[in-house]
Amino acid sequence: MARKVVFSGVQPSGGLTIGNYIGAIKNFVDLQDSYDCYYCIVDLHAITIPQVPKDLRKNTLEVLATYLASGLDPKKCTLFIQSHVEAHAELTWVLNSISYMGQLNRMTQYKEKSRKSEENLNAALFTYPVLMAADILMYQTEFVPVGDDQKQHLELARDLAERFNNRYSETFKVPEPLIQQFGARIMDLQNPGDKMSKSNQNENSYILMLDDPDTIRRKIRRAITDSIGEVIYTDDQPGIKNLMNIYNAFSGDSIDAIEDRYRGLGYGKFKDDVAEVIISGLKPIQERYIELMDNKDYLETVYRQGAEKAQFTAMKTLRKVYRKVGFIQK
Ligand code: AQP
């Protein structure tokens, strides 16, 4: 029986944070044995914010190396670079034609990002979720493992699939988000009301997957908590709750077990241990990453073969879409 399809992607817009790892990449690895997984490096998405071309090239290879170092296996899943499969941009155009401005205007990510870059309010930032819908629908995706922040975009992808199917007959599978119970939204260490983001200007607000042990210890020590002094999983203590989610993701220990272990011990020991579980969780990934970045030929083989496979599936969908909307076959 054909395996169900999973699709997801990460933007090469800077060094990846432990938010990207916990909310997305770690789950990608767990899914590759049971599903037909397509994992993309979404460089078309990255240019919705100004990028320095040489950094974009470097970041793209770095995301690929991070995927592989985290345990993604190109024999089990398809790893590719979005711009290598032209069908993504083509399907976006068709989906733009059934997307409503009003719905795109309500996207919170657009509102937040446009507030941050008022001088660069480009049209691509506005249609970003349509490109994301094209990415997902292209592969007849069943499940999309994403962080909580992408829920609204997933809803749009579902709407567009249904709208297209209703207008032109059954074409797209309607995808479901896969959002985990804990760690779906890792928060900013300096401002636990906001999501941890790689493009934040304050480097103490995030931990990068490639941060060295001393940097991780320093950033965790500086993480904002509260004056309550109890390690309890509650919305009233967002900083502590966030550190507990991080601890849980790296150690596998349950939230209850973490509460029990640190009862009455204050925050010092807890923070030290949070830093240590992150350091030991990231160590093998960092070691493998260095080896991979030294082997550019291997990275090139992986992304070329991945694009070939993705292209084959993508073209099947695009041809069907073009036929349904009334384009003459070439
Ligand atoms: N803080 C987070 N907690 C949980 N999941 C997260 N993700 C991102 N941040 C967190 C998930 O990572 C995947 C890839 O995200 P992305 O890089 O494509 O875009 P993003 O969500 O915009 O991530 P950033 O770090 O905030 O990037 P910038 O700063 O460039 O905008 C997604 O599944 C996302 O949910």
Task: Assign 315 a pLDDT band (cuts: 50, 70, 90).
Answer: very high
203-290 topology per CATH:
Tyrosyl-Transfer RNA Synthetase (1.10.240)
Local structure of residue 2 (DSSP, 8 states): P
pTM of the shown model: 0.94
Paired strand residues for 10: 41
Task: Assign 7 a pLDDT band (cuts: 50, 70, 90).
Answer: very high
What is the rounded distance in angstroms from the CA atom of residue 118 to the CA atom of residue 169? 40
Question: What average pLDDT does the segment 143-157 reach?
Answer: 92
Q: Which two tokens stand for residue 141?
A: 């995706």
Contact 258, 248 (CB under 8 A): yes
User: What digits encode the pLDDT tens for the residues 97-135?
Assistant: 999 999 999 999 898 888 877 777 899 999 999 999 999
Q: Which residues are catalytic?
A: 113, 195, 198
Domain spans of the chain, in order of start? 5-179+296-325, 203-290
Task: Please tell me the distance between residue 205's alpha carbon and the centre of ligand 1 in angstroms.
Answer: 14
Task: Please tell me the distance between residue 63's alpha carbon and the centre of ligand 1 in angstroms.
Answer: 13
Closest C-alpha to 164, from 88, 90, 96, 86: 96
Question: What average pLDDT does the segment 275-294 reach?
Answer: 98
CA 220 to chain CA centroid, nearest Å: 22
User: At 6, which helix (H) or strand (E)?
Assistant: strand 5-10
User: What digits encode the pLDDT tens for the residues 201-256?
Assistant: 899 999 999 999 999 999 999 999 999 999 999 999 999 999 999 999 999 999 99
108 lines ligand 1 (CB under 6 A): no
Q: How far is CA 214 from CA 220, 222, 273, 278, in A?
A: 10, 12, 13, 11
Pocket test for ligand 1, best of 6, 8, 17, 20 (most atoms within 8 A of CB): 20
The answer to whether residue 309 scores a pLDDT higher than 90 is yes
End-to-end CA distance of the chain: 33
Residue recorded with tokens 């967002």 = 238
What CATH number labels 5-179+296-325? 3.40.50.620
Burial of 202: CB neighbours in 10 Å, binned 0-12, 13-18, 19+: exposed
What mean pLDDT is reported for the chain?
95
Task: Please tell me the distance between residue 84's alpha carbon and the centre of ligand 1 in angstroms.
Answer: 22
